[in-house]
Amino acid sequence: MNAKTILIVDDSFSLRQTISIALKAAGYEVVEAVDGRDALNKLDGRKYNLIISDVNMPNLDGLSFVREAKQNPSYKFTPVLMLTTESGDARKQEGKAIGVRAWVHKPFLPPVLLDAVAKLVTP
């Protein structure tokens, strides 16, 4: 069985590393992007079973990235999990409207993230 592939989008190297280590240890393949622009470039036809994105990033923020990613027919139905330090409902409503399926607040414990990932990863 092929490993599920997850795209991680976050401008923090240390956070990408933490997420990547946790996901790889759980058996997932990982592709990393440093911001929304970089992530759009990585939406090159590869199958992603889940996208994990930060909200606040330079160049292209998480919600703008998701909005653009969902315009691509190949990724229209790819589940998205947002990582955020924000707890405001307005951003969550905006995210939900564009297809964000779940939110995990920073700082988080890897088991919490992995539990959310397991519920969202598409077959």
Alpha helices per DSSP H over 27-85: 36-42, 62-69
Query: In this model, does residue 14 exceed pLDDT 60?
Result: yes
pTM for this structure? 0.95
**Which band of pLDDT confidence, cut at 50, 70 and 90, is reported for residue 1?**
low
| pLDDT at residue 33, rounded to an integer | 98
Collapsing DSSP to helix, strand or coil, 101 comes out as strand
Q: How confident is the model at residue 100, as a pLDDT?
A: 96
Helices in 4-108 by DSSP H: which ranges?
13-25, 36-42, 62-69, 89-98
In this prediction, residue 89 carries a pLDDT of 87
For residues 94-113, average pLDDT = 93
The pLDDT of 48-60, averaged and rounded, is 96
